[in-house]
A and B are shown apart, each in its own frame.
Chain A
Amino acid sequence: MTDFSRKNNLKIAIVGNPNSGKSTVFNALTGMNQKVANFPGVTVEKRTGFFTLENNSGQKTSVEIIDLPGCYSLYPKSIDEQIPFQVLCDPDDDSHPDAVIVIADASNLKRSLFLCSQIIDLKIPTVLALNMIDLAERKGLVIDTKKLSEKLGITIIPMNARNKQGIPGLKQALTGSLPHPDAYFTDVKKYSPGITEEIKNVIHVKSDYAAFQVVNNFEWIASLHLKTDKTEKLRKIISDKNFKAKEAQAKETLERYEVITSLIKEVVREEGTMKGTHIRSKKIDNVLTHRIFGYIIFLVVLFLIFQAIFAWASYPMDLVDSFFAWSKQKVVGAMPAGMLSDLLVNGIIAGLNGVVIFVPQIALLFAFIAVLEDTGYMARVSFMMDKLLRGFGLNGKSVIPLISGVACAVPAIMSARTIQNRKERLITIMVTPLMSCSARLPVYTLLISLIIPSGFFYGVNVQGLVLFGMYLIGFVAAIGAAWLMKFIIRVKEKSFFIMELPLYRLPRFSNIGMQIIEKVKVFLFDAGKVIMAISIVLWGLSSNAPGNKFEEIEKKYEPASQNYDIPAEEIARQMKSEKLESSYAGILGQWIEPAIKPLGFDWKIGIALITSFAAREVFVGTMSTIYSAGDEGTHSMTVREKMQSEINPDTLKPRYDFATGFSLMLFYAFAMQCMSTLAVVKRETHSWKWPLIQFAYMGALAYVASLIAYQLLK
């Protein structure tokens, strides 16, 4: 029995099987009061929330609650699963809680009670929330909660987290005393004779079961918490006693299930058909995973999602652009012209604009993906795609990152976390940026309008076809690269695809809302920081020139500005263009020209390539400036005309002929020109090694492809 009524602060962990409604309970307890970080050393999300408990005498306790990743058992089998194990079995862990809330799916008690019994045996104060109790009732299950509570020896709260039913009861239970059984569910000493006591001398755990868990799985925590002398002692104990960990673990699991099964027989009665919801799911599956229709339906769903995103996102995106244009005007009006004003307007505000503009698309995409996941459909998609993708070193679950990459690689790469196998996850992360993201779209649109004639070919819009072709090229490159990496990357880890296919259900919109907010926040603050930084650096490079260059140019334009026959805007644009050419950015462009000439590019394109390193779509704006076409943003009509009339001094023919244009499109299709993507890859892979490799291989691919294309087509 533990009494929490006197504590001021409480640390609680919440655990449960996947699909047991754990996140719904977490959200119900914490509301918006949550934050997301990472557990140290692994890319597993650490979601922490806060709420306050008030007991009968009015005393308040502040509670920090940690959402541990869903698991079926404490025994870890992958890096992600090691978190619940580590946090609960190691009393010295930073996140080790004072109490645990176990969330059980009331209609699938056997599995949930397996996990619950493991936690009870760790001797940590435990409360069991019997969630989705309404579903169990509908299935005709009658659970004697009082008897179950007696048999388990802990407090049980029946719950329907969607309706917040049971949440007050849960809070109430946490303010009082929590009963705990003295006995263990299984006798681990049988499977590890003489070992548990010795383990307890090395690691200071209270319970025999915790000691048993540690000796079976200490390699999982060795790298993080134990000092080497302790791991040596543990290894010695194991070899001395000739202890076979996996065997012991299997036997103990079997015994535990026997205990749970007979316990359930005494407290659960089935009255009525269990089969109803299963039959419904099965019928839906017959259609959705049909060998032909399954794939067709999936493609249709994809198509609809992308249509929706492009259609619905354009209005908020226009709003964003208007807002930032207005901000620029305000700043210009409020400040004297000069370096600071220019930095604010063209560096910072422009940078912010470039980041925020993507929020509508990202939010919408995540909303759709979250809905598909929540309903259970995504699991079916992975199921259908797994065999195809495995041939390319990917996993059925790689579908989500690949699809998301067509909107933006940054959140796409984050969603690769659901892939447990390290090699498959790594390959997915490495190739996702080859999927043509939305930043490439303005580039493609401009270049296609330059080099592809408008019109129809047997009823199909030619320009549209070429655009589709570019997306296809991106996809082919992605799976091609994946296939190559399959042979090159060596990671020793067993791959499991064993996955539960949950029953279909309606999406929970409050959960989805939370997820969207979370993902957008990560994008804004992680990717955003990087884009901003690079934007400012590039602004610096393009607004500064060596020596007095800029003053000289301004002097040159003096007489013209006195002539009122020439519109002031025209003069301003010409001057701006010349300034750009003589700036550091311009110098860099001219410096790399020899390297990019074989690709059909000149130094003007070189400048655009350099500025595109902040973000790809900067290409259009840069082209506008270079060709002094004015600040048209994405309306590139005037830019196009100017580019069309540009003559290549070497050949005396148009600069933007088919060869150069196509070569440039290929370059943008393959090159890694997104600092935020590199930043996210670094975060997800925990080192600079992989983003650098990614930058190198994509750059090489872009260079070679452009080279071949230009040389063949010119």
Chain B
Amino acid sequence: MTLDKLPPGSEAIIESFTDDDIKLKLLEMGCLPGEKISVVRYAPLGDPIAVSVSGYLLSMRRDEAACVEVTQI
């Protein structure tokens, strides 16, 4: 499933990316395949979302999160 479908509080493992540019951007920020990623919260209006990965907090828009394939754990 994709990252934007994960509910707040859930954890997942990053599998792959479906967009090259987003992939590069996220890779560099430490979102590597195999890393644990958890959804901390949604913004009050539902978008963007805040995720915790590799020791820090990132915010990204849902359409960006939709490019991240994850497996929920």
Contacts and interface: CB of A to CB of B under 8 A. Distances in A.
A294 B50 CA distance: 15
B29 A111 contact: yes
Query: Which label, helix, strand, loop or mixed, suits the secondary structure of the B interface?
Result: mixed
Contacts of B60: 497-499
A501 B49 CA distance: 11
Contacts of B43: 289, 383-384, 386-387
Given A108-B55, A250-B20, A386-B61, A498 B44 contact: no
Contacts of B41: 285, 289
A500 interface: yes
Interface string B29-61: 110110000001101111110101011111111
Taking chain A's interface residues, is the majority helix, strand, or loop, or is none over half, making it mixed? Answer: helix
Contacts of A249: 24
Contact of B50 (A246, A388, A501): A501
B26 interface: yes
A384 B61 contact: no
Interface in A239-270: 246, 249-250, 253-254, 257
A291 interface: yes
B30 A111 contact: yes
Interface residues of B, number: 32
B58 to A, nearest CB: 6
A114 to B, nearest CB: 7
A254 B28 CA distance: 9
A290 B44 contact: yes
B31 to A, nearest CB: 9
Interface string A358-389: 00000000000000000000010001101110
Contact of A111 (B22, B23, B47, B54): B54
A499 B44 contact: no
A388 B48 CA distance: 11
B1 interface: no
Nearest to A292: B44
Contacts of A503: 56-57
A281 interface: yes
A496 B25 contact: yes
A189 interface: no
B50 A383 contact: yes
Contact of A289 (B33, B44, B46): B44
A211 B9 CA distance: 44
27 contacts: A75-B28, A77-B21, A107-B55, A108-B55, A108-B56, A110-B54, A110-B55, A111-B54, A114-B28, A246-B24, A253-B27, A254-B27, A257-B27, A278-B52, A281-B57, A285-B40, A289-B43, A291-B44, A383-B50, A384-B45, A386-B61, A387-B45, A494-B21, A498-B26, A499-B60, A500-B59, A503-B57
A664 B63 CA distance: 45
A498 B24 contact: no
B64 interface: yes
A178 B44 CA distance: 50
Nearest to B57: A501
A291 B42 CA distance: 9
A253 B24 contact: yes
Count class of interface residues, chain A = 35 or more
A538 B64 CA distance: 52
A295 interface: yes
Given A110-B54, A498-B58, A246 B48 contact: no
Contacts of B23: 250
Nearest to B55: A108
B33 to A, nearest CB: 8
Contacts of B20: 246, 250
Contacts of A295: 44
Contacts of B26: 498
Given A257-B27, A274-B55, A497-B60, 13 more contacts: A72-B28, A77-B24, A77-B25, A107-B55, A108-B56, A114-B28, A250-B23, A285-B50, A289-B43, A388-B45, A498-B29, A498-B64, A500-B57
A19 to B, nearest CB: 9
Contacts of B25: 77, 496, 498
A295 B40 CA distance: 19
B59 A383 contact: yes
Interface centre among A249, A257, A290, A498, by most B CB within 10 Å? Answer: A498
A602 to B, nearest CB: 49
Interface string A382-402: 011011100000001000000
Contacts of A285: 40-41, 50
A415 interface: no
A387 B48 contact: yes
A109 B10 CA distance: 26
Nearest to A17: B29
Contacts of A278: 52, 57
Contacts of A502: 56-57
B58 A499 contact: yes
Contact of B64 (A72, A282, A294, A496): A496
Contact of B59 (A254, A294, A501): A501
B36 to A, nearest CB: 14
B1 to A, nearest CB: 20
Nearest to B20: A246
Nearest to A245: B20
A494 B60 CA distance: 14
A382 to B, nearest CB: 8
A291 B29 CA distance: 28
A499 B43 CA distance: 14
Nearest to B42: A291
B46 A387 contact: yes
Contacts of A291: 44
A281 B52 CA distance: 12
Given A77-B21, A387-B43, A500 B56 contact: yes
Contacts of B56: 108, 500-503
A254 B48 contact: no
A501 B21 CA distance: 21
Contacts of A282: 40
A253 B29 CA distance: 11
Nearest to B23: A250
In this complex, the member of B26, B33, B45, B60 whose beta carbon has the largest number of chain A beta carbons within 10 angstroms is B45
A497 B28 contact: no
Nearest to A281: B57
B34 to A, nearest CB: 10
A108 to B, nearest CB: 6
Given A110-B54, A250-B23, A289-B44, A497 B30 contact: no
A322 B12 CA distance: 65
A447 to B, nearest CB: 38
A274 to B, nearest CB: 7
B59 A498 contact: yes
A497 B45 contact: no
The 3 closest A-B pairs by CB, nearest first: A291-B44, A73-B28, A501-B57
A108 B41 CA distance: 22
A500 B48 contact: no
A294 B44 contact: yes
Interface in A400-415: none
A396 B61 CA distance: 11
A252 to B, nearest CB: 10
